[in-house]
Structure 1
Amino acid sequence: MTTSDARGNLHASTGEFTHKHFTADTVALTTTDRAAVLPEEQQWDGSGNAVIARETDPWLRDANGQDINLARFSKHPVDGPCGERIHAIPGVLAPWNGNGVERCDMCGLYEGDLEAATALAASIGPDVTVWYEPETSAPAPASDDAILAALSVTLAAQTIAARSRQLTAAEDDALAAAAGREDEDVHNAAWAAVRRMEQREAHLAAVDGRSTDVESVNPNRAIAEAILDDGFLADGGTDAHLDPCSAARDAAVALTYRWKIGSGEAPGWTQAGYDNLTAPWRRVIGKVHPDDAD
């Protein structure tokens, strides 16, 4: 049998799931109230072709037809073959994009999100079902406001990149000192959230038949990473300019995902994380985005 993802790409489904160590005894089920099943919601039974609506993920329901709250998995993540401790079970990310389920693209244990959701359902109990929203129409074109917002981010990222090439020795020292004053735990959590957003971008690009390289998928991300590369090469391959360029890169990366703060699509990506990554640049050079608070 085959399934297809949101972009219509078909995937083979083996129906075999290797991760059985979670049971109903070890995972307490909690539910959230939800309205009665809408016509556009469908249960996946593992047969036929399924096209998941763009930018959505499958979710799980219990025997009573109630959505299963997957928040417990975020409190007790496990390691996956990719080496990241972000999984509900190895190879499966949940909750994701709200209360959804996605496969881990870096692990690659499952053919698609539906197969990953089915594996997670099987690990919870025999009466857990997988639901998804099918694709029903082409996506609406981007609004003028959305296009202008995207262009403003690119322009701001390019501004940071250009300014980073003109830093004075005093600014270098000030940026390095400012970076050292930031909370390391918040910094690491922010970067972990960035990695999850990058993984999602790569996943959506892969199912669309495009490159899975994040910098190719997201041009603003490429601008940000080039800041660090250019700074390193400018010093003849030494680390003399690394700290200030890292501060500039962090600011541009945070800017790239600024619009996703609090969206639910990026667990752990918060205003505090954005503020942490942009703080050194804001203190020494100035605003990262025109709409940032003074």
Structure 2
Amino acid sequence: MASLYLSILGITFVIITVSYFALNEKQRALLFGRFGLNFQRRPSWTPPRSPSPAKRELSEKYTLPPGQEYKDTFPPCRRPALAEIADSRFSVGGKSGKGLNELPYNTDKPLPDDRNVLAPEYKKYSTPTGFTVEEIKALGNFPDYATLSGVPLPKPCTDFNINTAMARPYRPIRWAYHQTMSYKKLEPDWWLELDKTYSSRIKQRQDLYTAHGSEILQSLPGSEIACKELMEMCLQFLCSRYPAHFSINARNLLFHNNILNTTTNLKEMDPLEVLLNNVPEDFAIVLRNPETGYYSFRAG
């Protein structure tokens, strides 16, 4: 009886071993090589061809040193949008938006990402999207970001009720799915969502800021323009999407929040604190390093 069990185990081992080497080409090739047998690889095992000397020389000529691979890589230029600015008061050096649009995009003076870019010496320096600091200042407060960015303002939600509003559900995945970091096309109407937890979430954020301060909210030098731009874009969105609940006094730069019954003086409060007190979302502002082309977290 014992010999029968041993025979069955032996046959099982042989079958498993043969199947393993039959299905695993690399292990089969290694085994044949140890016994001095010639194993012919499939064509798919052929190593990739080496580039020709001419291609190698061309690649080496245009390859930047490590850390500078993206130095000359920029996001799409938005300077053509200047020609579409309808504000007749907008001009720089006697040129209107159309005239400024005809000027070349100057990449020789990129804005630094670690200094106060509002200083006078940087007025001729350009952002990665092509606007100079001088042009940004000339646009003033709350310019037409829909035109400048190419992202339209949301449609008004006139029947919105903050007391009953529910957040849009994000359904759990019910089948095999390859994770893609939830990237999807932005729906302009739903960039900033409000629901019935709005007031309590804002209060929670304010309590956290009171307790932890700059550990959870701060801006580093170089992010001055970006922080102001983000704040203005968010407030424009809220006023356009929920006109019954938010409004801006452009003359005095006052933001009225009718849900919280608050009025914010935008001239006196830091842009990120304005967002903290009115927008229940977290933001991370990354800026481009002009020396390397890499982006780093500078405010949020």
* Same topology, TM > 0.5: no
Q: Which has the larger radius of gyration?
A: 2
Q: Report the TM-score, using the length of structure 1 for normalisation.
A: 0.32
Q: Is the strand fraction higher in 1 or 2?
A: 1
Q: Report the TM-score, using the length of structure 2 for normalisation.
A: 0.32
